[in-house]
A and B are shown apart, each in its own frame.
Chain A
Amino acid sequence: MSEQIAFWMLSAIAVLGALVAVRKRNLIHGVFALMIFFAALSGLFLLLLAEFIAAVQILVYIGAVGILLLFAIMLTERVTGDDGRRMTSRGWFWGLVVAAAVFVILLLPAIQELPPPEAAQAIDPSVKELGHKLMNPYVVTLEVLALLLTAALIGAVTAAQGVRIPKEEDSSE
């Protein structure tokens, strides 16, 4: 029962957060709505007993991605966004149609008769096990991921810096 209440609340928050994030004109508000969405998702992960993923979700998405987005917004946009420009793209109607279509397609299996879902097994996942898995079968993946992150870091710095005339003292802020 308590699980159901938590699920419905969290999913409502997640959907609302996502909707506000994509529809809000004020981007800072949008980012915070997005973070609420991330937090709700983290709660859902906890509900599914994926503790570590929930923690990582908060750590990475709210702690890192959110802040990055905030900085990007501060660097690029007039944040209030009350400039009266059209918010939506030219093909917004077709976009909406496609989104709705995808939604329907995704739900088709559910509309059709599905086999009754199995009940979840009782599990006791441990972070240690996850760590062992990362070291034993997935170590190459982990290394590749590390490489990818490094590459992304360098790439991001290079792309964001652009062509820069060297200065004597480069203030990083």
Chain B
Amino acid sequence: MSSATAIAPNYELIQQDGLETSLLEVSMGPHHPSTHGVFRMDVKLDGETVVDLQPVFGYLHRNHEKLAENMSYLASMPFTDRLDYFNSMTNNWAYALAAEKLVEIEVPERAEYLRVIMAELTRLVNHVSLVGFFINDLGALGTPLLYAFREREKILDLFEQASGARMMCNYFRFGGLRNDVPEGWLDRARDVVDRFPDFLDEYEKLLCENEIILSRTQGVGNLSRELAISAGITGPMLRASGVNYDIRKVDKYSIYDRFLFRVPYSDGNVGDCYDRFMVRMLEMRESIGILKQALGGIGDGPVLGNAPKVFKPKPAEVYGRVEAPKGELGFYLIADGTPKPYRYRVRPPSLINLTVLRDMCLGQKVADAVIILGSIDIVLGEVDR
């Protein structure tokens, strides 16, 4: 990559300087406080500057895809929760979308509304805690993270009330949702959503003008528009690099065409950690807008269409994708006429966004490598699968 070649001659100069500054090879991880799971970065340091970085992962590999190929379509639904365990709802949705394409099931309207509500709540959960983790990586003592968790808890309570579990929701079914939300849930959700902007105001006041955060994040981990596109980056990270691309707008899947919302993206001059951080902050505001519209427009009706629990689809290939909070999450299924998929493939946004880590980190300080990793927003459950 371009930055790699840019750093190499520089590094040679350091050597020519005469002092035998040997490179310090540091293995950051798999048990490092800020690698967000069992992830390892083999970093070569010249002083504090990263001259080489090799991401090593696979410590959390659980054979997700092969497992799914050996069980019925429905049975792998709970396993999708475990991909990106922060966002089980959107994982469910992407898989449900793919399977619904396969067997052509209609989803009732109330279920569509609830799906949108759940997905946007998930986006709030993910972004708010990502920002918290990110600031934690910057060295804050957990204060923003704990504020984020305080709000996240309210949303997780909603999830628990609806699905029975806080994180492994396993809530979506082919053709709708597993069960309707309990009585009064929508009011509680409205309450949470109405109060969320107050929290966001506070959060922005705490973070967005802080001089230390500004100078730590700006100009760090630049990702150019071209590299972002050619590396297949998706989600907020792509938009932070200045590309206006949101699957909710592109595919207009489900009922996203009914809602008015805007997609924030940067002007693409730098695409640094600050952009990635701010794009997520702004996206939360838009999610609240969607949530308000959805919670206002939801009607009564069944939440589960007349769909079979267990089925034998006709041989076909489908790809279902959603705009997960981390990027494009897609499920690619090949059916061969048996109750089990012939091929089951996940397009994990975390993994694909992670591929540019090295390019972003080279030449930066070791502290920057940590926050760049944080700004990519990975979940190892999804990277390793």
Check A-B contact in the complex, CB < 8 A.
yes
Contact A167 B18 (CB under 8 A): no
Roughly how many angstroms separate A171 CA and B18 CA in the complex, as a whole number? 15
Q: A167-B10, A171-B47, A171-B49 are in contact. Are A75 and B17 (CB under 8 A)?
A: no
Instruction: Kindly list chain A residues whose C-beta atoms are within 8 Å of the C-beta of B49.
Output: 171
Q: Give the residue name and chain of the A residue nearest to B9 (CB).
A: A167
Q: A167-B10, A168-B10 are in contact. Are A173 and B48 (CB under 8 A)?
A: yes
Q: How large is the interface on B (under 10, 10 to 19, 20 to 34, 35 or more residues)?
A: 10 to 19
CB of A164 closer than 8 Å to a CB of B: yes
Contact A173 B13 (CB under 8 A): no
Roughly how many angstroms separate A171 CA and B17 CA in the complex, as a whole number? 13
CB of A162 closer than 8 Å to a CB of B: yes
Q: Which of B1-45 contact A (CB under 8 A)?
A: 10, 13, 16-19, 21
Contact B16 A165 (CB under 8 A): yes
Instruction: Kindly list chain B residues whose C-beta atoms are within 8 Å of the C-beta of A164.
Output: 17
Roughly how many angstroms separate A75 CA and B21 CA in the complex, as a whole number? 7
- Using a Cβ cutoff of 8 Å, how many contacts connect chains A and B? 15
Contact B19 A75 (CB under 8 A): yes
Instruction: Kindly list chain A residues whose C-beta atoms are within 8 Å of the C-beta of B10.
Output: 167-168
Contact B17 A173 (CB under 8 A): no
Q: Mark A154-169, 1 if CB is under 8 A from B, else 0.
A: 0000000010110110
Instruction: Kindly list chain B residues whose C-beta atoms are within 8 Å of the C-beta of A162.
Output: 17-18
Q: Give the residue name and chain of the A residue nearest to B363 (CB).
A: A169
Q: Give the residue name and chain of the A residue nearest to B18 (CB).
A: A162
Roughly how many angstroms separate A167 CA and B21 CA in the complex, as a whole number? 17
CB distance from B367 to the nearest CB of A (A): 13
CB distance from A85 to the nearest CB of B (A): 17
Instruction: Kindly list chain A residues whose C-beta atoms are within 8 Å of the C-beta of B21.
Output: 75
Roughly how many angstroms separate A128 CA and B49 CA in the complex, as a whole number? 47
Contact B47 A165 (CB under 8 A): no
Instruction: Kindly list chain B residues whose C-beta atoms are within 8 Å of the C-beta of A168.
Output: 10
CB distance from A165 to the nearest CB of B (A): 6
Q: Which of A70-109 contact B (CB under 8 A)?
A: 75
Q: A173-B47, A173-B48 are in contact. Are A165 and B18 (CB under 8 A)?
A: no
CB distance from B205 to the nearest CB of A (A): 34
Instruction: Kindly list chain A residues whose C-beta atoms are within 8 Å of the C-beta of B47.
Output: 171, 173
Roughly how many angstroms separate A173 CA and B14 CA in the complex, as a whole number? 12
Roughly how many angstroms separate A167 CA and B16 CA in the complex, as a whole number? 12
Instruction: Kindly list chain A residues whose C-beta atoms are within 8 Å of the C-beta of B13.
Output: 165, 167
CB distance from B292 to the nearest CB of A (A): 48
Instruction: Kindly list chain B residues whose C-beta atoms are within 8 Å of the C-beta of A75.
Output: 19, 21
Q: Which of A108-166 contact B (CB under 8 A)?
A: 162, 164-165
CB distance from B177 to the nearest CB of A (A): 55
Instruction: Kindly list chain B residues whose C-beta atoms are within 8 Å of the C-beta of A173.
Output: 47-48
Q: Give the residue name and chain of the A residue nearest to B19 (CB).
A: A75
Q: When A and B form their complex, which 7 residue pairs have the shortest distance between CB atoms, in order from nearest?
A: A173-B47, A167-B13, A165-B13, A162-B18, A75-B19, A171-B49, A164-B17
7 more CB-based (< 8 A) A-B contacts, given A164-B17, A167-B13? A75-B19, A75-B21, A162-B18, A165-B13, A171-B47, A171-B48, A171-B49
For this complex, 15 residue pairs linking A to B, each with C-beta atoms less than 8 Å apart, are A75-B19, A75-B21, A162-B17, A162-B18, A164-B17, A165-B13, A165-B16, A167-B10, A167-B13, A168-B10, A171-B47, A171-B48, A171-B49, A173-B47, A173-B48
